[in-house]
Amino acid sequence: MPNLKLNKPTESEMAILQILWEEGPSTVREVHEILSGTKESGYTTTLKLMQIMHDKGMLSRNDESKTHIYSTLIKKESVQKQVVGNMIKGLFKGSSAKLVMHALGNHRASSEEISEIKKYLDEMELTEMTKKKKNEKK
């Protein structure tokens, strides 16, 4: 039976989750193949890892055919949110702006992306203003 408590994924588990997010439902072999690109390790290691993740309730699997197909049950968004949140809290003193500028400074974005971000910021400012107006009216 699946373990109830949903612990933070370990590092190896993260690697596997990322592959499944990217590739969609996959077999152990497929995941292992990709993993091998980055990291030396045996097939049964990947297998065991994915079995453990399944036990923990992180992955579901379809075992109708001999070769099982695994899918992630963890939402990418929730992990993103958690990781980004921790980072802002721990490494950037709670300032998302600090993180943002750090990220942009070290990982140059294309000019399309830059204008997309600016548009996004404009929207944020707008909704901020309307909120203020509403409050003033009260």
Partner DNA sequence: TTCGATGTACGAAATCTTTCGTAGTAATGA
Partner DNA sequence: TCATTACTACGAAAGATTTCGTACATCGAA
| Nearest CB to DNA, comparing residues 67 and 78 | 67
Query: What is the three-class DSSP state of 59?
Result: strand
Find which of its own copies, DNA, none residue 23 binds, CB within 5 to 8 Å per kind.
none
> Which residues inside 59-118 make contact with DNA, applying CB under 7 A?
63, 66-68
Single-letter residue type at 49: L
| Nearest CB to its own copies, comparing residues 2 and 89 | 89
For position 11 contacting DNA by CB under 7 A, the verdict is yes
What residues does 69 pair with on adjacent strands?
Answer: 62
Cα separations (Å) of 96 from 9, 105, 138? 24, 14, 30
For position 18 contacting DNA by CB under 7 A, the verdict is no
Find which of its own copies, DNA, none residue 126 binds, CB within 5 to 8 Å per kind.
none
Query: What is the three-class DSSP state of 87?
Result: helix
* Size of the chain, expressed as the number of residues it contains: 138
- The whole-angstrom separation of Cα 35 and Cα 7 is 22
Find which of its own copies, DNA, none residue 57 binds, CB within 5 to 8 Å per kind.
none
Q: Which residues are at the interface with DNA (CB under 7 A)? A: 7, 10-13, 27-29, 39, 41-45, 47-49, 51-52, 63, 66-68
